[in-house]
Structure 1
Amino acid sequence: MRKTAVVPVFDHLGVTVDDLPSAIAQFAPVLAALGFTRYDAENGVSWHTEGETELILLPAREAGTGPHRHGQVGWQHLAFAVGSRAEVDRLHAVAVGAGWSVVREPKLYPRFNDRYYASFVEDDNGIRIEFMHNPPREQSPQAVV
């Protein structure tokens, strides 16, 4: 049996913002807390994970075209899966401390399942992110063969 290479869900994500310095100030603490490393470029900034997944911020081609409006065509939100409810709470606090607006405080979302715990925040550009913890359902002893 041949092993299949593990490929990231996405390689990179580019996000256009109205005010690049302001967006950097909001994204930098959050992405650092998630373990991303920052790289500055001539016309933008990017953050990379160890697996080379990249998030890039770029200035809008036309000033004043933002913010993005949640629910309209385009970006909905990006969810960061984390290892615990405490990590959701910590990252939520980091984001709020960096100027992100609270959309939804950390809480359980039983409409998804009884384990789904998450928070939602939005930056000045209308970019929404979620921090979520959704541990696998524990198998009952009868389910293990």
Structure 2
Amino acid sequence: MASKPANRPLSPHLGVYKWGPHMLVSILHRATGDGMALVGTVLVVAWLACAAAGPDAYAAFAGWFTTASGSLNPLGYLLGIGLTLSLFQHMASGVRHLFLDTGAGYELRGNKRGAVATMVFSVLATILFWTVLSVGA
């Protein structure tokens, strides 16, 4: 069995790094992409299957998201707002990465500002989207 070299540096661990908004945005980008792919795919397939199965199946599917009066029920709001927030966060993070790919924004302060900006944008865009959707323009 080989022995460990005496002067070999240890690999950094998550506990070594200082948590920051840039780390959060990186994790959120992966999570929102995977979440939208999984939840979105399941919803689209269920919607198409119910639409193909006939009016009763489609009404049952739509019942999960709307009330008898046609307004969204709490499940529909929660799922819709979550998917919308995920979409805007993923999109903003993608634009941030596009700028990073050009070599801009790697300075620590600028990187943190960009990361915070993606989170602020996604929340504000979600609020604006659902306000316009609920109130109507």
Q: Which has the higher helix share?
A: 2
Tell which has more relative contact order, 1 or 2 (C-alpha 8 A, sep 6+): 2
Q: Which has the higher strand share?
A: 1
Bigger radius of gyration, 1 or 2?
2
TM-score normalised over the length of structure 2:
0.24
